[in-house]
Chains A and B, each alone.
Chain A
């Protein structure tokens, strides 16, 4: 990797000052380092300066009547272990514990988790391959006749990029209408998690709407009666330590065995956590234990899917994953 300088930020304001593109420092923030160090080694990132933000007071984990507050520097393992998260937001804890490995979760921050980049093998390669996300204008090898497509998107891709976002917990957070708190050169703001990640369009090199030089400072999850009855189901070939082929985060409200409200987001199938609002609406009034009826309610939401020849199976697999996740969510609190 290229030589870089390193500095430790004492407070958010000084971190932002160094990170401001106008300062011309070529700086990037580093928290847990579980992602950025990979990107440095693969030369996908080549900063001149690393700004260590671990000293910033952003590691809060707090639950209250208004919901859940997670600091950007809260570690994945700490969030997953927090009793209020486990009790009130089980699918957040599940999504975290099904991510990566214990060693990585001990280091990785919640903010960094949202900002991790795709695991598309063409993007992550040891060499620079045709990949518009890594090298704009270089093409997309995955779209080739015999490109690797099984891990690619079935929703939200473009002619320029079909990569998926790899986060698990972002899927659970998206289902629960979480908000991302950011601060940057233009001041502080709040972005709905569902809007935080971009679709690739013709600019796949930009994964998120986070402005240059800005930091994620925290994540809030609004209080919701659904959150306590939720489940995250991750489908993958290897039983652990692998990214999702398909995953589903489902939260439900059930009265007398009938779904009264539902939230659904999918992972592994799109460039961002993929909500299914039509399916959520269609599930109202469906018996939670009637898997055929659940499937009937969910299936039309997959009509817009645009799978590639090499990942057509993921449509059916995703339907089944949602159906099962709903059963787990509905059954989990009984």
Chain B
């Protein structure tokens, strides 16, 4: 493991880094304000834009009556599906009904408020609990229902069965940077500066919707101010910005308000889960069943694969998971850090804790007794797994040994102290990627790859990957990213970027080293390993040349620089590829006031090779903080009468602040995964956010004796 501080740190803290809405100021820029539906379902019966059109500074007002026709999106991940301003139907509160374009933001917003809308509202439910009777099996993905062995028989044979219901709340990503798109239509070309986790996907969807060839659409995202999934798939505002620029010409700027950020892209849906565990008295699992229902929209499907981690977690002879979706009248839910296991491991790991208490077995010992050496659902080997080491090292760092089992047995002053733990796991997403690496005569190296920096450290890590191959300092390597003119890469999602894009960068760097070797050896070539870049020199470990300056080497060809391309494409070589970890949490609950506070978390992770221990540690502690939010604070509460979320602001939707965050101890076990990609590493961005909720809820139980099965844990849950 190496440590490198953030290459883009100074740009970010000085404001030099330019995010989407930072582009294109000044004369000629027009501002877009959205008029959105205030009912959850129905039909618009009146849409009077006359006052808005007459308001000062207004350029135009687009509605379904006068918006340019759009094409059904046939390319790119437009899972939302609905074309904006397409008809007079309302399918969710917050759906765009009109687009006001004006010469200043304030004038656009003021005019938007002058648009008069009347509705014919139809009945709709927005709370998943009101939709459970309409839950159905989603058409969408694999592993909707999965089973191995005979679960009913396993439960029947068990000495102890724990069967419990758990729930997680609707959550909103709430990145610091709201989604924003600056669109320019000029000379038959469309350029978007977009707050995005996937510029190529934006290009595909927008080009498809507008009926433009992809080559005439360019999407740029040099910096994205947090995504967490909100900016992963494509949402209507991106099409609206493009469509508006296309209609009025020139540049338009659309920045979602914070309130619109609660209704203009997806959110993590509420889940209702059940877990049944059967075990023998020694703790050996005989059967595991995990079911989940998640909210989806009425017009498209989002499946939260909450039980997917359960399929591979413990060595039970019988495991069944099943998933259903229940339609509510909100915008389509979407992945949010951490999806799937991020909500599902709360249920499984809470149930494991409950089983430990039923059996009187230490919760960590129970996990060790059911350790899965192979993937229990498929029989496959794991590509790499050092979870046992995580348990041991995590317990050592946390001081788990000697923990008294009985709830309420640790007390300091007025605080009830509790210790809880949980396993964590995440799937490993891998995506195709391509990259180009160029070296110039002065020794400077440029990586070009159309990936995105959403705060995860791409500007820092990719130079390390190239430098490792070339033998040079990462400080002489820069990266250009976030532009559809660059070699194509996938979404920054599913914790995939370092492993996937890094593998492409590594391949390109190796190809470049090979080219340099060939140039130096003239005939016959030499393997890339023989090349080391030392400043502006090439040092060759074989052959007669020894050391030659890049200028001299390139001078032979008359070129100023030399480039090479590389690509990565994931393949299935028969292994289950996942990441793992062990999370230990300490909470303190005031004995009278019953406020749960997290005093420390220890997480030890098995995630393959770690490229940069500093940025990796930041990812894990950031994930832990997300877990604190999930466990204790974050929930978007549906308001059935109004058909919306109660609060659409950060005063009503609580995320942790510094005062909520105390000691966070994140570390990794040494590991190299030979099957995950070219780097030996796996994704970590979501791993840190998974398992924390259960560890905290288990610690709350240990502190208070109260088992909270519905996140977030609130003071009133503990008020006895």
Binding site for B on A (CB under 8 A): 1-3, 43, 119, 121-122, 124-127, 129-130, 141, 144-148, 150, 235-243, 245, 313, 316-317, 320-321, 323-324
User: A240-B658, A240-B660 are known contacts. Are A1 and B106 too (CB-CB below 8 A)?
Assistant: yes
Task: Taking A141-B642, A241-B657 as given, write out 6 further A-B residue pairs in contact, using a Cβ cutoff of 8 Å, ordered by the A residue number.
Answer: A122-B646, A237-B714, A239-B597, A240-B658, A317-B719, A320-B593
Per-residue A-contact encoding for B30-53, CB less than 8 Å = 1, 0 else: 000000001000000000000000
- Which chain A residues border B56 with CB–CB below 8 Å? 3
B549 within 8 A of A: no
Within the complex, the shortest CB–CB distance from B175 to chain A, in Å, comes to: 18
Q: Report B-chain residues with C-beta under 8 Å of the C-beta of A145.
A: 641
Interface residue ranges of B644-675 to A (CB < 8 Å): 646-649, 651-652, 654, 656-660
Out of A2, A245, A317, name the residue touching B110 (CB < 8 Å).
A2
- Taking the closest CB of chain B, its distance from the CB of A36, in whole angstroms, is 16
Judge whether B715 is part of the interface by a CB distance below 8 angstroms: yes
B431 to A: closest C-beta gap in Å: 36
Residues in chain A near residue B530, CB distance under 8 A: none
Interface stretch of the complex, out of B137-145, B235-243, B438-446, B632-640: B632-640
Query: B641 touching A237 by the CB < 8 A rule?
Result: no
Residues of B within 8 A of A316 (CB): 719
A317 touches B715 (CB 8 A): yes
Is B716 at the interface (CB under 8 A from chain A)? yes
Give the tally of cross-chain contacts (CB within 8 A). Answer: 87
Contacts of B11 in A (CB 8 A): none
User: Would B716 and A150 count as touching, CB distance under 8 A?
Assistant: yes
| A239 proximity list for chain B (CB < 8 A) | 597, 657, 659-660
* B113 surroundings in chain A (CB, below 8 A): 43
Choose from B38, B257, B640, B657 the contact partner of A146 (Cβ within 8 Å). B640
The size bracket of the interface on B is: 35 or more
10 A-B pairs whose Cβ atoms sit less than 8 Å apart in the complex: A121-B652, A124-B649, A124-B651, A126-B257, A144-B641, A237-B715, A239-B657, A240-B658, A241-B659, A317-B719
Question: Would A148 and B646 count as touching, CB distance under 8 A?
Answer: yes
**What A residues does B652 contact at CB under 8 A?**
121, 124
A residues near B595, Cβ cutoff 8 Å = 235-237
Q: Is the CB of B593 within 8 A of A240?
A: no
In the complex the two chains form, what is the Cα distance from A130 to B658 in whole Å? 35
Which residues 247-295 of B have a CB within 8 angstroms of A? 257, 259-260
A269 to B: closest C-beta gap in Å: 14
Known A235-B593, A320-B593: A126·B259 in contact at CB below 8 Å: yes
Determine how close the nearest CB of chain B comes to the CB of A295; give it in whole angstroms. 10
Are B639 and A148 touching (Cβ within 8 A)? yes
- In the complex, what distance in Å separates the CA atom of A241 from the CA atom of B715? 17
Are A323 and B592 in contact, with the CB atoms below 8 A?
A: yes
Please report the C-alpha to C-alpha distance between residue A320 and residue B590 in the assembled complex, in whole angstroms. 11
Contact surface of B with A, Cβ cutoff 8 Å: 38, 56, 106, 109-110, 113, 127, 257, 259-260, 592-595, 597, 632-633, 637, 639-642, 646-649, 651-652, 654, 656-660, 714-716, 719
Give Cα A145–Cα B646 distance, bound, in whole angstroms. Answer: 14
Contact partners of A238 in chain B: CB under 8 A: 633, 654, 656-657, 659-660
Measured between beta carbons, the chain A residues less than 8 angstroms from B637 are 148
B52 smallest CB distance to A (angstroms): 13
The 8 Å CB contact of B651, one of A3, A243, A324, is A243
Min CB distance A146 to B, Å, is 5
Which B residues are in CB contact (< 8 Å) with A237? 595, 632-633, 654, 714-715
CA of A235 to CA of B656, assembled, Å: 16
A122 neighbours in B (Cβ, 8 Å): 646
Which of B592, B594, B639 has a CB less than 8 Å from the CB of A147?
A: B639
Alpha-carbon distance A253/B377, docked complex (angstroms)? 68
Chain A to chain B: the 6 pairs with minimum beta-carbon distance, closest first: A126-B259, A240-B659, A239-B659, A313-B716, A121-B647, A148-B646
Residue of A whose beta carbon sits closest to that of B716: A313
Cβ contact within 8 Å between A1 and B110? yes
Beta-carbon contact of A317 and B651 below 8 Å: no
Among residues of A, the one whose C-beta sits closest to the C-beta of B654 is A238
Closest to B655 in A: A238
Chain B residue with the shortest CB-CB distance to A236: B595
CB of A317 within 8 A of CB of B639, answer no
B600 to chain A, nearest CB (A): 14
Chain A residue at minimum C-beta to C-beta distance from B632: A237
- The residue on B at minimum CB distance from A146 is B640
Chain B residues, Cβ within 8 Å of A236: 595
- Give every chain A residue within 8 A of B639 (Cβ-Cβ): 141, 146-148
- B109 in complex: contacting residue of A1, A130, A242, A324, CB < 8 Å: A1
A205 vs chain B, min Cβ distance (A): 20
* Nearest CB in chain A to that of B652: its residue: A121
Q: Are B649 and A126 in contact (CB under 8 A)?
A: yes
Q: How far is the CA of A236 from the CA of B656 in the complex (A)?
A: 12
A124 proximity list for chain B (CB < 8 A): 649, 651-652
CB of A257, distance to nearest CB on chain B (Å): 20
In the complex, which residue of chain A has the Cβ closest to the Cβ of B645?
A: A121
Minimal beta-carbon separation of B310 from chain A (angstroms) = 30
Contact A240 B657 (CB under 8 A): yes
CB pair A245 B715 closer than 8 Å: yes
In the complex, A241→B642 CA distance in Å? 28
